Amino acid sequence: MHEQHGRVAVAYLQPAVDIRSAVRAEKGLPIIINMLSPSHLTIDVIARTAAVCLRNLAIDPKNKELIGKKSGEPMRSAFRALFVRKADLL
C-alpha cells in the first residue's frame, strides 16, 4: 500500500507535470497513440509500453481529453487485445 502512495505522489512532482505538458506541446500524443495501431499490436512490448505511457500522460486533464478525442475506439480495442490476452493466459 505504501508503494502505491509513493507512485501517486511522484506523479504530481513538478518535473512529471512539466514532461506531460511538453509531450502535449510537442505533439507527441498522436505518435504514442499510433503505437496502438493494429500493425504494432503484434509487437506486444511496443503496444504495452505505449498503453502505459498514455495512462501516465492522462493524469494531466488536457492530455486525458486529447487522448480520448484522438484515439477513441481504436485505443479501446487495443487495450482489450493487450490486456484480455494476458488475463486469458492466467
Q: What is the pLDDT of residues 2-22, one digit of tens each?
A: 445 455 566 778 888 999 999
User: pLDDT of 64-83, one tens digit each?
Assistant: 899 888 877 767 777 777 66
Specify whether the CB–CB gap between 53 and 40 falls below 8 A. no
Q: What is the CB neighbour count within 10 angstroms for residue 2?
A: 5
Over residues 31-47, the pLDDT tens digits come to 988 888 777 767 778 87
pLDDT of residue 84: 65
